[in-house]
Structure 1
Amino acid sequence: MTFENMMELAERITPVEAEIGAFILKNKEHIPEMSILELAQRTNVSKSAVHRFCKRIGFHGFNELKVAISTDLAESRFNIALIDVNYPFEAQDGPQLIAKKLSKLYETAIEDTYNYLDFVQVQQVARLLNDAKAIDIYTHAHNMNVAENFQDKMLTIGKIVNCPKGFYNQRATVLASTPDQAAIILSYSGRATFIEPIVQVLFRKKIPIILIGKAGSNRYPQYITHALSISSKENLRDRISQFSSHIAMQYMLDVIFGCIYNMGREKNIAYLNASIDFMDDRKVDE
């Protein structure tokens, strides 16, 4: 995970710690050569404040932070040709260049999402969903395509996933849900108006809730059981389309599906083999 990602995910960060982080981000090129005393002097804080900052965002100490910064710098130099995630291609670009730029965009979105992954939490989410009697996914607009893709994959191993659409169906599904189920909220920004009333009822009904969105999108931590972060570089409005967030959301759900599949791999393979003739009646051997 990059230093910038760790800053975004840090909880209960103080104003002083936020200033230290902002200074580091602005002066990343010089941080690997600095001592902890020099950084403390440049930011007008104590050495212990710098050390607490390092601990807060997930490092054991300042030296470990410097190693992470050096790694970030090396990777950014290697990836000089960065793609604008909001406007990845220009008016004069032809098919070949558009294809190349979108390929780079998808690669970057997936790599950035990978850097956010907390693998212990991903496994916990997969286990929770695997054990659930049924899974309800609450989302809207373009994210519904991602939800239905996950639904299709889960059906191939006999897992029931519901994707209620619209105000009425979503709220009726919430009211009909039971504690042996699980819920997934897909929202890049976390600001969609459908979220708050739904998570409140789910929480009262003791139904575990998984939120998937960009870093910092968990606006309801009192209700959310697990929050998973995806690439957060896309602008909420100033963009051609949701190229980056769509592929990042798809990637996250595919990772979760892969973990669920492997939890009962032999059983799932047997289920697929037993159902293939019924599900696909084409005469493929003729």
Structure 2
Amino acid sequence: MFTNEIIATFNELEMLLYKYIMQNKEKVVYMRIRDLADETHVSTSTIMRFCRKLNCEGFSEFKVKLKLLLDEKSDITIKSGQHVLAEFFERTQNEKFTSKLEDAAEAISKANHVFFVGIGSSGILAEYGARYFSSLGKFSTYLKDWYMPIHANLNNSITIALSVSGENEFTISHIHKLKENSSKILSITNNGQSTIAKISDKNVSYYVTEEFFDKSNITTQIPVIFILEEMARMVYEKSRKND
């Protein structure tokens, strides 16, 4: 309803009106136009112009749309992740999944440099992964600056790319830049058929049900933490045996 494009067209009075409505949505749906005008100290004609910018014929239609928006929000329920995680941990007990982790850990242990990339919540976990690997003796770097020029030959390096959807454009472009500089790519994604999984040299997928709240992806990241920590421990064990 309130898109960025529409909000950008609001003048000073309309912006005051917008802020009041956002803070008092439950109250506004039951107000008369005159009541809202008094509360916000704007004219009824300003409110009507505001409504027309939102593709509403008048204040009554605006209130109906606002009420529908509130009803949609109230219907959203956040499910418990216990069942999803139980299924995931059950899948980790099979030999195929363990073999993938072992293969990934082998590649990481042989690399001279380990980089992590990701954005949003995946970026936070990428930073955590770099710290965790470094704590277990495999020095790793989280590449936070997407626009950092990479001119060095990254031969014998591996980049661990994190993405829930496996379709994030920023992460994909970063992967391409690293591949052009000879870095091997190991991705951790929710879906093994995603773009990032397909362009990677190796992929570990965890396949849990994706969840969204509004436009935010709130899919549990516990499987990613588990995979990162298991791989780091495997890398540590391999380095200890080699020593």
Judge same fold: TM > 0.5, yes or no. yes
Which amino acid in the other structure matches residue 199 of structure 2? Y
Question: SS of the residue aligned with 1:146?
Answer: helix
Please say if residues 87 and 240 of structure 1, whose CA atoms lie closer than 8 Å, have aligned partners that are also in contact.
no
Q: Distance in 1 between matches of 2:233 and 2:86?
A: 19
Answer 1 or 2: higher relative contact order, Cα 8 Å, separation at least 6.
1
Q: Distance in 1 between matches of 2:170 and 2:92?
A: 25
Q: Distance in 2 between matches of 1:139 and 1:177?
A: 21
Q: How does 1:8-19 map to 2 (within 5 A)?
A: none
Which amino acid in the other structure matches residue 177 of structure 2? V
Give the superposition deviation at 1:240: 7.5
Which amino acid in the other structure matches residue 87 of structure 1? I
Please say if residues 101 and 227 of structure 2, whose CA atoms lie closer than 8 Å, have aligned partners that are also in contact.
no
Q: How does 1:12-161 map to 2 (within 5 A)?
A: 87-88=78-79, 101-112=80-91, 118-161=97-140
Please say if residues 113 and 139 of structure 2, whose CA atoms lie closer than 8 Å, have aligned partners that are also in contact.
yes
Please say if residues 185 and 195 of structure 1, whose CA atoms lie closer than 8 Å, have aligned partners that are also in contact.
yes
Q: TM-score, normalised by structure 2?
A: 0.58
Question: SS of the residue aligned with 1:184?
Answer: strand
Q: Distance in 2 between matches of 1:185 and 1:108?
A: 24
Per-residue CA deviation, residues 217-260 of structure 1 (Å, 9 max, x unaligned), is: 4315663110111123113565886352x101111112211211
Per-residue CA deviation, residues 112-143 of structure 1 (Å, 9 max, x unaligned), is: 56569533332221111111111111101112
Q: Which residues of structure 2 form unaligned runs of 5+?
A: 1-76
Q: Is structure 2 residue 243 aligned with structure 1 residue 264?
A: no
Aligned length: 167
Q: Distance in 2 between matches of 1:112 and 1:141?
A: 26
Q: Which residues of structure 1 form unaligned runs of 5+?
A: 1-85, 89-100, 269-286
Which amino acid in the other structure matches residue 214 of structure 1? N
Which amino acid in the other structure matches residue 227 of structure 1? N
Give the superposition deviation at 1:203: 2.6
Q: For 1:204, which of 173, 177, 180 is the aligned residue?
A: 180
Higher strand content, 1 or 2: 2
Q: Is structure 2 residue 194 aligned with structure 1 residue 218?
A: yes
Please say if residues 91 and 97 of structure 2, whose CA atoms lie closer than 8 Å, have aligned partners that are also in contact.
no
The answer for the alignment partner of 1:185 in structure 2 is 161
Q: TM-score, normalised by structure 1?
A: 0.50
Give the superposition deviation at 1:197: 2.3
Which structure: larger Rg? 2
* CA RMSD between the two structures: 3.0
